Amino acid sequence: QVQLKESGPGLVKPSQTLSLTCSVSGGSISSGSYFWSWIRQPAGKGLEWIGRIYSSGAIHYSPSLMSRITISADTSKNLFSLNLSSVTAADTAVYYCARGRIADSGSDYWGQGTLVTVSS
């Protein structure tokens, strides 16, 4: 059974960088059949896609966040990471990591989500 778990600080100060890690168990992030995504959800609002990374190393970012995002992977530790720079209160949200299936088959495994609050 594939499991994903987000970890990182729950509180980040404005203008600083939000850094989260998604640890994957029960499957390898090196598998060519999947990609690995970050999605966020402000309280009471909808889902917002942040970006994804493939086992090949290819990365796609949300156009609206592209200038502030970095997604990377550490295959030796079977995890992938998100860095979001210059955060503001608008970046306060529950951040999810998820496994996506190639051929546009949806994201079938999600982490439990982690709340990140941007506040001084």
Partner 1 sequence: SFDLTQPPSVSVSPGQTAAITCSGDKLGGKYVSWYQQKPGQSPLLVIYQDGQRPSGIPERFSGSNSGNTATLTISGTQPMDEADYYCQAWHSSAVVFGGGTKLTVL
Q: Which is nearer to partner 1, 62 or 85 (CB)?
A: 62
CA distance 5 to 80: 10
CB 11, min distance to partner 1, A: 20
CA distance 62 to 64: 5
CA distance 111 to 10: 16
CB 110, min distance to partner 1, A: 4
CB 84, min distance to partner 1, A: 17
Q: Could you tell me the two tokens for 55?
A: 């086992």
Contact status: 117 vs partner 1 (CB under 8 A): no
Residues 46-105 that bind partner 1 (CB under 8 A): 46-49, 52, 60, 62-63, 96, 101, 103-105
Place of tokens 């506040």: 119
91 touches 74 (CB < 8 A): no
Q: Is the dihedral of CA 9, 11, 66, 37 positive or negative?
A: positive
By rule CB under 8 A, what count of residues binds partner 1?
A: 22
Q: Which is nearer to partner 1, 15 or 117 (CB)?
A: 117
User: What residues make contact with partner 1 under the rule CB under 8 A?
Assistant: 37, 39, 46-49, 52, 60, 62-63, 96, 101, 103-108, 110-113
